[in-house]
Amino acid sequence: MATYRYRCFKLVFSGSIRRKFSNQVSQLPSETTAPPLFPGAKTTWTEQLTFTGKDSYDPIPVYRVMDEQGRIIEESENPNLPDDIIVRMYEKMLYVSVMDKILYESQRQGRISFYMTNSGEEATQIGSAAALNISDVIYGQYREVGVLVWRGFSLQNISDQCYGNSDDVGLGKQMPVHYGSKQLNFVTISSPLTTQMPQAAGAAYALKGTNRVVMCYFGDGAASEGDAHAGFNFAATLDCPVIFFCRNNGFAISTPTDEQYRGDGIAARGPSYGINSIRVDGNDVFAVYNATKFAKSYCLKENKPVIIEAMTYRVGHHSTSDDSTAYRSAEEIKSWSSESPIYKLQTHMKERNLWNEEKEQQTLEQAKKDVLKAFYAAEAKLKPKWTEMFGGVYATMPKHLQKQMNEMKLHVEKYKEHYPLNKFAKE
Amino acid sequence: MALNKTANEICSLCSKKFLGILNGISKRNSHFIYKPDTNLPIQGKTEKLNMFQAINNALDITLKTDKTAMIFGEDVGFGGVFRCTVGLRDKYGKERIFNTPLSEQGIAGFAIGVANMGSTAIAEMQFADYIFPAFDQIVNEAAKMRYRSAGQYDCGKLTIRAPTMAVGHGALYHSQSPESYFAHTPGLKVVIPSTAVKAKGLLLSCIRDPNPCIFFEPKILYRSASEQVPLDDYELPLGKADVLTEGTDITLIGWGTQVHVLLEVAKLAQEKFKVSCEVIDLVSILPWDSETIFKSAKKTKRVIIAHEAPLTCGFGAELATSIQEECFLNLEAPVTRVTGFDTPFPHIFEPFYLPNKWRCLDAIEKIMNY
C-alpha cells in the first residue's frame, strides 16, 4: 500500500511535470553543449523560443478514496480505519455542523457578536486532525474548529470563548471563533490572514528532531498574501517539517478563485518553491486522512515541508456579517449541500452497517442537547473582571500601565452606574 | 518595494566598501564626537571593543549560554553586512546562525514561530528602513500574542535587531529612525544603545527579557563607538534612562547617536552661555523611564528633546506631552523639540537635516531667554 501511494505521489509531483519538460529537452543537442553554469538554476540550454506556462503541464489531479456514494474506489487506498474511529470521525463532523447551526442562529438573535460556520469543510478538519498526533502543533486561520473538537476542545470551551466569559481561556480578549489551547497544541487564532504561515515554518524549524510536525491551515484567499510566499519559501530553504494545508473552498468572502489566482490553484505553486504538493478531495474524509498521514511521514523523514490543497466548497456564508447570496446563487449552494462530506461518510457507513437512520436521529438529538446545554451555561457565566483588560500586554505589568489601570479604577468607581459592572466578575 | 529590495541587495554586496566609506566619513566630518563610556557595569577583564564587536560578544555569550538560541536574517551567515555576526557560524554551526531568504515579513514571522516554541530567536533586519514589510508581523502578531491568548502563547523569546539612524550619506532608506512607529504598539519593548558598553548589556537584557524586543543599533556607532567593554556576561536594565551629566539649568534628552551630540552641546552651552545642562540618554523608548525624566524636568524646569526622526508624532511628542502634564507647575519655558524635519531623509542635504549641535545650541539659547 505504501509503495503504491509513493508511486501515486511521484506521478503527481514529478511524473507529469518532468515528462512535459523532458519532451522539450529531448529535442536539444545536449551532448554537444555543456550545461549552463548559472548559479541560479540547474538546467539545460534550449534554442527554441517558447514560454513555459500553465499549459506546459497537466493540472494536478484531485486524489480521492471514495466516490460520490461513499464507496471505496481503490481498495488499496482504503485507510482501513477501525470502525470506532470512523464512527467517531462522523460524530465529530456531525457535532461541528449542529454546533454551527445553533451558534449561527444565536448570533442572528444578537446573543453572541460574531460567528463563522464550517459547513462543507468538516472533512478537511476531522480527516487531517485524525492523521496527526496531539503533540503536533497546529497553526490555523479560523475555519478549523473541527481540529480542536477532534483534540478534545469541548463544546463548553467553544461556547465560553464565543461568549468571552470568565471560563474562556482567552479571557474574552478576542472575537468569537478565535480559539486557542496550549494544552492541545493549538496556537491561538488571530484575525490577520496568513500571518501564521511563516510562523508555522519557524515553529517547525524549532521543533526539528523532536518527532513532531507543524500543521498550518489557511484558505485559498489567504494564499495570496505576501506571508504565504514567505512561509513557503522559508519552509523550503530552511528545511522545515511543516504541512501547509490549504482549504480551497472556492471563495474568499465574495471573491471567487478566478479573481484570486490564474494558476493551477495553490498546489501547483508548491513545486516552484521546491515543495512537494498534493491535491485532495476535501469532501472525502479518507482522502484527507491519507494525504495528511503521508505528508506527515514525509515531513519527519525528510525534514521538509509539504503542501496539501483540499478542494472543497464553502457551503455557509463567509461569516455572520455576510450574505453570500449577494454574489452566488442559492442553487449553486444547494447543489454542494448534497455533496457534503458528512453525507458522503454517512452513506459509506450505512453501506457497511456502521450507521443507520436511528443512530443518526439519536446523535443529532444528543448533539443539539449538548450544544444547547453548553451554550446556556456559557451565557449564564459572568465575564472576567474588567481589569483583565490590562493584563498580559507584557509578562509583567509596566508602571505606566499600572497607572492607567488605577486611574480607570477610580473613574469606574465614580461613574459605576454607567458601566456594565454586574456582568463582570468582581475584583 | 522593488527598489527597496534592490538597494538592500546592493548594500549587502558592497558592504565592505560601504563601511569603508562610512568609517572614513565618520572620522572626517561626522556631526558628533563619540564620548567613550567609562561607566563599567561590572568588574573584571575588559577589552577595547567597538559597538559591532560588543554586539558580537553579546551574541556569542547568548549562543554559548542558551542552547536554544539562534540568529538569522539576510546575510548573517558570513558575518553580516556590518560584521555583527562575524565568526559565529563557524563557532556554533549553520543550524543556529543562518541566512534566510530576502523577506522581512518572513524573517519576523519565522522568528515569532521559533519563539512560540520556546526557543530564543534573534532576528536581524538589515536596515531599520526595511523593517516595514515586517510591520504587520511585529505590530499585529508579536506584540499582541501574549495578550490575545491570555498568556497561553507568547513570543517573549524574540529579539529583532536593526541598524538605525543617520550614517552621513544613507539618504532615504539607510538612515531612518522608526522608533516612534513601534512606540505606539503596546506589547513591544524598544531599546536604543548609545555606546558599546551599553549595546552589549542592553542586547543581553533584550534577548533574555520575556517580551518581544526591538533593538535599534545606531549604525554610525558600529565602528566609531569604541571603549573598554567588560568581557563577562552582564545585563543593563530596560526601561531605565541614564543621566550622563548632571546639570541645573536645562535638561537635554536624546538617545542613540544624538546623545553624543547633546554631550557636546552641553559643553558648548557651558562655555558660551554659562548654562548648566543635564544630559539624559533615554535608552528605552518603550516602556520609557518617566521617573528619571520628570525628576530632572522638575529640577531644571526647562527641557529640550532631540531626535533624528521627523518632528510630527516623533517620540519627542510623547515625552513633551507627558512632561507638560506632570511638571506643569515646574516649567519655566515650553518643552522644546529639536528634530529631523518632516521630510524624507535626504542624501546631499543631510548636514542641513540633522538636529546637530548648532541647532540644539540655538534652541538652548532661545529657551534660556524665554
Model ipTM?
0.92
Q: Which of A39, A209, A307 is nearest to B67 (CA)?
A: A209
Q: How far is A199 from chain B (nearest CA, A)?
A: 4
The string over A320-339, giving b where at least 16 C-beta atoms fall within 10 Å of a residue's C-beta and e elsewhere, is: beeebeeeeeeeebeebeee
Interface of A with B in 287-346 (CB under 8 A): none
Residue of A nearest to B147 (CA): A392
Q: Is A340 a catalytic residue?
A: no
A203 and B106 in contact by Cβ < 8 A? no
Q: Which of B147, B145, B143, B152 is nearest to A169 (CA)?
A: B152
DSSP string, B28-88: HH-SS--------SS-S-EEEEEHHHHHHHHHHHHHHH-TT-EEEETTTTTT-TTSTTTTH
Residues A67, A58: contact at Cβ < 8 Å? no
Q: How far is A323 from chain B (nearest CA, A)?
A: 28
Q: Is A277 a catalytic residue?
A: no
The answer, yes or no, to whether residue A155 has pLDDT greater than 50, is: yes
Helix (H) / strand (E) element for B196: namely: helix B196-208
The string over B213-233, giving b where at least 16 C-beta atoms fall within 10 Å of a residue's C-beta and e elsewhere, is: bbbbbbbbbbbbbbbbbbbeb
Contacts with B287 from chain A: Cβ below 8 Å: 398-400
Categorize the per-residue pLDDT at A17 as very low, low, confident or very high, splitting at 50, 70 and 90.
Answer: very low
Nearest neighbour of A227 by CB, restricted to B109, B186, B287: B109
Contacts with A391 from chain B: Cβ below 8 Å: 150
What pTM was estimated for this model as a whole? 0.93
Rounded distance, CA B307 to CA B356, Å?
A: 10
The answer, yes or no, to whether residue A82 has pLDDT greater than 90, is: yes
Nearest neighbour of A398 by CB, restricted to B119, B149, B287: B287
Interface of A with B in 3-32 (CB under 8 A): none
The string over B33-60, giving b where at least 16 C-beta atoms fall within 10 Å of a residue's C-beta and e elsewhere, is: ebbebeeebeeeeeeebbbbbbbbbbbb
Region A288-303 average pLDDT: 98
Cell numbers 562655555 correspond to B271
Nearest neighbour of B149 by CB, restricted to A170, A388, A393: A170
pLDDT tens, residue by residue, B37-86: 999 999 999 999 999 999 999 999 999 999 999 999 999 999 999 999 99
Supply the residues of B annotated as catalytic: 104, 174
Percentage of chain B exceeding pLDDT 70: 92
Q: What is the pLDDT of residue B12?
A: 44
Q: Which of A389, A422, A395 is nearest to A407 (CA)?
A: A389
Categorize the per-residue pLDDT at B10 as very low, low, confident or very high, splitting at 50, 70 and 90.
Answer: very low
Q: What is the pLDDT of residue A427?
A: 78
Categorize the per-residue pLDDT at A31 as very low, low, confident or very high, splitting at 50, 70 and 90.
Answer: low
Higher pLDDT: A336 or B65? It is B65
As given in the structure block, the three cell numbers for residue B180 are 516612534
A394 and B146 in contact by Cβ < 8 A? yes
Rounded distance, CA B182 to CA B286, Å?
A: 8
DSSP assignment, residue A12? I
- Give SS3 for A138: strand
Rounded distance, CA A78 to CA A293, Å?
A: 13
Q: How far is A67 from chain B (nearest CA, A)?
A: 39
Interface of A with B in 153-212 (CB under 8 A): 168-171, 173-174, 178, 180-182, 187-188, 190, 192, 195, 197-207
A233 and B101 in contact by Cβ < 8 A? yes
Residue of A nearest to B94 (CA): A238
Q: What are phi and psi of B284, to 5 degrees?
A: -105, 125
Cell numbers 521538509 correspond to A304
B116 and A203 in contact by Cβ < 8 A? yes
B105 and A198 in contact by Cβ < 8 A? yes
* Arithmetic mean of pLDDT over chain A: 92
Instruction: Give strand pairing partners of B338.
Output: B306
Rounded distance, CA B191 to CA A26, Å?
A: 60
The answer, yes or no, to whether residue A28 has pLDDT greater than 60, is: no
The answer, yes or no, to whether residue B188 has pLDDT greater than 90, is: yes
The answer, yes or no, to whether residue B252 has pLDDT greater than 50, is: yes
- Give SS3 for A46: coil
Region A377-398 average pLDDT: 98
Whether omega for the bond prior to residue B346 falls within 30 degrees of 0, making it cis, is no
Q: How far is B1 from chain A (nearest CA, A)?
A: 12
Rounded distance, CA B317 to CA A407, Å?
A: 22
Residues A189, B141: contact at Cβ < 8 Å? no
Q: What is the pLDDT of residue A32?
A: 64
Nearest neighbour of B147 by CB, restricted to A181, A204, A393: A393
Q: What is the pLDDT of residue B23?
A: 45
Rounded distance, CA A73 to CA A76, Å?
A: 9
Q: What is the pLDDT of residue B20?
A: 44
Residue of B nearest to A179 (CA): B149
Contacts with A226 from chain B: Cβ below 8 Å: 103, 105, 133
The answer, yes or no, to whether residue B8 has pLDDT greater than 90, is: no
The answer, yes or no, to whether residue A181 has pLDDT greater than 70, is: yes
Q: Which of A243, A246, A200, A240 is nearest to A222 (CA)?
A: A246
Calculate the alpha carbon distances from A269 to A85, A140, A287 in Å. 34, 20, 21
Region A418-426 average pLDDT: 97
DSSP string, B324-336: HHHSTTT-SS--E
- Tell me the residue length of chain B: 370
Rounded distance, CA A123 to CA A138, Å?
A: 17
Strands B46-50 and B97-99: unpaired
Task: Considering only the C-alpha atoms of chain A, give the largest distance between any 2 of them, rounded to a whole number of Å.
Answer: 90
Q: What is the pLDDT of residue A339?
A: 76
Higher pLDDT: A337 or B199? It is B199
The answer, yes or no, to whether residue A15 has pLDDT greater than 90, is: no
Rounded distance, CA A403 to CA B290, Å?
A: 12
Mutating which of B149, B153, B157, B285 best tests the A interface, going by the most A Cβ atoms within 10 A? B149
Beta carbon pairs, A and B, within 8 Å: 150
Nearest neighbour of B110 by CB, restricted to A174, A234, A398: A234
Cβ–Cβ contacts within 10 Å for residue A188, how many?
Answer: 25
pLDDT tens, residue by residue, A41-78: 999 999 999 999 999 999 999 999 999 999 999 999 99
Rounded distance, CA B51 to CA B194, Å?
A: 9
Contacts with B145 from chain A: Cβ below 8 Å: 188, 190
The answer, yes or no, to whether residue B150 has pLDDT greater than 50, is: yes
Q: How many CA atoms lie within 13 A of B163 on its CB side?
A: 25
Which value, to the nearest 10 degrees, does the dihedral of the CA atoms of residues A340, A344, A350, A352 take?
-160
* Residue type (1 letter), A392: G
Interface of A with B in 208-247 (CB under 8 A): 214, 226-227, 229-231, 233-234, 237-238
Lowest mean pLDDT among A104-108, A167-171, B65-69: A104-108
Q: What is the pLDDT of residue A382?
A: 98
